[in-house]
Amino acid sequence: MSIFPLGLRLSGRRVLVVGGGHVATRRAFALAEAGADVHVVSPAVSDSLASAIGRGTITWHQRGYRSGDLEGAWLVQTATDVAAVDDQVAADAESRQVFCLKGGDPERATAWTPAVARVDDVTIAVSGGGDAGRAAALRDALATALQTGDLPLRHRTHARGLVALVGGGPGDPGLLTSRGRRLLAEADVVVFDRLAPQSVLAELAPDVEVIDVGKQPDHHPIPQEQINALLVDRAREGKVVVRLKGGDPYVFGRGGEELLACREAGVEVEVVPGVTSAIAVAAAAGIPVTHRGVARGFSVITGHEAVGELPHRGDHTLVMLMGVKRLRSTAEELIAAGHDPHTPAAVVERGFSPDQRTTIATLGTIADRAADAQAPAITIIGDVVSLAAATTGSVGAPPTS
């Protein structure tokens, strides 16, 4: 049977539901959510429907169906499980030129409801040729593809103007959140860092503007103020701008500065948290930053900070980012401040990459053992490092994911 797919704007319009069971309840809720003025005609209703009626969101006429109930209705759903009643509702609707959804009898209905999913401002409606299970399965597959960014989501006909600060995780694209991937699928502009998962850039459409603002150690070719201005300017052009960062935007990522710059400029901004390398890269090397009976807390610092005032107990883990160049002086400062030089220590380079390398030593010897370590790398200091051998099997083990 040929059908004409159509979306209905039912807000404020009277819709009749005849019946009070499971199908009628589900449909009444969906219609009410769409803003319809829902009237239910039934001698009895389900507990769920009774609750909605009690809240005043749905009107209940506690009796059997009458032909006059269709007066003023734009749409009717009949689902009484009594064939004679449902047939009468369908016949009355036909004579009044009111579209009728007929539960359990699609052949005699004049309207059908598809399987529906909503992802942001996209609505998916799937008809399965009369097979509700088939339609639901297709709907779920399409919704998942949209949620993960596997389908194109970019706006084509109207400007949006948005900056999204997206945490890309420690480098493995599989650790990028589904929300981050969805925003990348919507992006008109992607501004990325050196440590962001750059393999996802190959998935972008050819006309997406891609801008590299990556910083090298002690070398920032594009100052932060220019990056802030770039984000604001592109968003003011009505574009969706994704600022793709490594790790989490708020963990030494200057995400807070970019958020404030956007807000001060009146630009809509969204923050999407990412998996921070401070925890994830340690985990890739088999090192939990906390562990019952071994470590009760941890601190995350950069290698450029003074470390003398940090807790100097083995049961408090220290995770140091961006610190391999100062590793020797940092170790000396920690020991001078009271850290035991025999505290286990590790340097994990290029976490979650095929050439990940983990070097395990002690605080007193790690600078010598990891003298050739290169960024990006993190340093972990604390008793939890001793757990690495049990989970990775050897120094320099590859990532476990």
Strands 75-78 and 209-212: unpaired
CA max distance for the chain? 92
Backbone dihedral region for residue 146 (phi beyond 0: left; psi -120 to 50: alpha; all else: beta): alpha
Residue 39: CB atoms within 10 A of its CB come to: 19
Q: Where are the beta strands (DSSP E) in 143-223?
A: 162-167, 189-192, 209-212
Please tell me which residue in 87, 105, 212, 215 is annotated as part of the active site.
215
Rounded CA-CA distance 259/269 in Å is: 7
Q: Where are the beta strands (DSSP E) in 121-239?
A: 122-126, 162-167, 189-192, 209-212
Please tell me which residue in 86, 172, 193, 383 is annotated as part of the active site.
193
Rounded CA-CA distance 78/71 in Å is: 15
The CB-side HSE value for 225 (13 A sphere, CA atoms) comes to 0
DSSP, residue by residue, 234-295: HHHTT-EEEEEESB-TTSSS-HHHHHHHHHHTT-EEEEE----HHHHHHHHTT--S-BTTTB
Q: What's the alpha-carbon Rg for the chain, to the nearest Å? A: 30
Q: Is 193 designated active site?
A: yes
Rounded CA-CA distance 307/115 in Å is: 58
User: How buried is 254 (Cβ within 10 angstroms: 0-12 exposed, 13-18 middle, 19+ buried)?
Assistant: middle
Residue 75 near residue 15 (C-beta atoms within 8 A):
yes
Residue 308: CB atoms within 10 A of its CB come to: 12
Structure tokens at 318: 């220290």
Which amino acids are annotated catalytic?
193, 215
